[in-house]
Amino acid sequence: MFIRGSSGSGKTTLLNLLAGILTPSSGQLRVLEQDMNQLSNVARDRFRADHLGIIFQQFNLLPYLSVLDNVTLPCEFSKRRREQSGELNATATRLLEDLGLTNAMTTTSITQLSVGQQQRVAVARALMGKPELIIADEPTSALDTDTRDSFLDLLFSEAEAQGSTIIFVSHDHQLACHFSRTLDLQRVNPV
């Protein structure tokens, strides 16, 4: 699912709604069959921890944690995802390998990784514990075209392998061709 919209069109608001940070002031919102209005603050945080993987534009990682610790971080806040991951470090290492990050890289400091490598670590983190939804907020905007395409390919194949849906937000319609569904926020919500 590709959501397109220029700045100010409400992309971030939509993401915050999906992630359960915000609740709709009117109307109903159902994410994964769950009525978000009915959940308390704590429950929405748990829902996010359990079911959502989130990838930001850039600077996704905590610089003071190792690559592996960054990847396994969601499992620390969600029992469900911890249980679905199996052996945490092994799964994380496998995901990182699949995403083309060698073992040597996983032991280096985050700050020594390139932006593209950092984004791939962020993908691995979002995939940990097989969340149903992966929300990606312009994860490719900091990447050049070549890295971007290989990044998307990896994201798709990994998400498909574990059956996660990707909600991908961007202002760049060139990317739309990679997705099965596209939604243009400007048409839904003309500002």
Partner 1 sequence: MILLKLTLLSLWNRRASLLLTILAIAISITLLLSVEYIRKEAKASFLSTISGTDLVVGARSGSVQLLLYSVFRIGNATNNISWKSYQELAANPLIEWTVPLSLGDSHKGFRVLGTNQDYFRYYRFGDKHTLEFAQGQTFSGVFETVLGAEVARKLGYKLGDKIVIAHGTSKVNTALHADKPFTVIGILKPTGTPLDRTVHITLEGLEAVHLDWVAGTKINGYNLSAEAVLKKNLQPKLITAFLVGLQSRAAAFRVQREINDYKREPLLAILPGVTLADLWQALGLFETVLRMISGLVVVAGLVGMLTTVLSTLNERRREMAILRAVGAHPRHILLLFILEALVLTLVGCLIGMMFMFALVYLARPWVIAEYGFYLRTWLPDLSSLSLVAIVASLALVLSLLPGTIAYRRSLQDGLTIRT
Using rule CB under 8 A, residue 78 touches partner 1: yes
Q: With contact defined as beta carbons under 8 Å apart, do 74 and 81 qualify? A: yes
Selected binder of partner 1 within 30, 37, 38, 62 (CB under 8 A): 62
Using rule CB under 8 A, residue 74 touches partner 1: yes
Using rule CB under 8 A, residue 22 touches partner 1: yes
Using rule CB under 8 A, residue 46 touches partner 1: yes
Q: Dihedral, CA atoms, 141, 145, 148, 149, nearest 10 degrees? A: 140
Please say which residue, 77 or 157, places its beta carbon nearer to partner 1: 77
Smallest distance from the beta carbon of 54 to partner 1, in angstroms?
4
Please say which residue, 108 or 150, places its beta carbon nearer to partner 1: 108
Selected binder of partner 1 within 10, 39, 45, 147 (CB under 8 A): 45
State the residues that interact with partner 1 by CB under 8 A: 12, 15-16, 19, 21-22, 41-42, 45-46, 48-50, 54, 56-57, 59-65, 69, 73-74, 76-78, 125, 137
